[in-house]
């Protein structure tokens, strides 16, 4: 599955200045790892965000849906944010910041 290059570039901008960010092809898209832990990514035209225990409450927000790994398995603690939910820079940065806050609490890999 191809991913949205423009969204990937926007995520790179939102992550600028943070240490230990690595990009890797994953889930049929592109993932951004923070200290070795998957943090955010792009799948198609949607943002993948890893929020851990806060993902369930975030699923009630507009334009958010569960993240399926592509193999029919819903990933607990992860979600997808569709384009209307990340249209503005502020909205995208807010999702990225939430994911970085969660993955930053995990032990580095």
> Which pair of structure tokens corresponds to residue 65?
């849906």
Going by C-beta distance under 8 Å and a sequence separation of 6 or more, which residues neighbour residue 25?
A: 31
HEC letters along 58-71? HCCCCCEEEEECCC
**Does the pLDDT value for residue 1 go beyond 90?**
no
pLDDT, tens only, 7-66 = 999 999 999 999 889 999 998 899 999 999 999 999 999 999 999 999 999 999 999 999
Q: Which of 51, 28, 53 is nearest to 38 (CA)?
A: 51
* CA quadruple 59, 70, 75, 100: dihedral sign: negative
pLDDT, tens only, 52-72 = 999 999 999 999 999 987 778
């Amino acid at each position: 599955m191809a991913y949205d290059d423009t969204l990937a570039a926007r995520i790179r901008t939102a992550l600028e200045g943070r240490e230990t960010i690595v990009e890797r092809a994953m889930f049929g898209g592109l993932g951004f790892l923070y200290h070795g832990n998957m943090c955010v990514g792009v799948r198609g035209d949607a943002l993948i965000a890893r929020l851990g225990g806060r993902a369930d409450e975030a699923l009630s927000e507009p334009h958010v849906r569960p993240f399926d790994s592509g193999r029919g398995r819903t990933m607990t603690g992860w979600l997808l944010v569709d384009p209307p939910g990340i249209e503005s820079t502020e909205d995208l940065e807010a999702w990225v910041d939430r994911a970085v806050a969660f993955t930053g609490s995990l032990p580095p890999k």
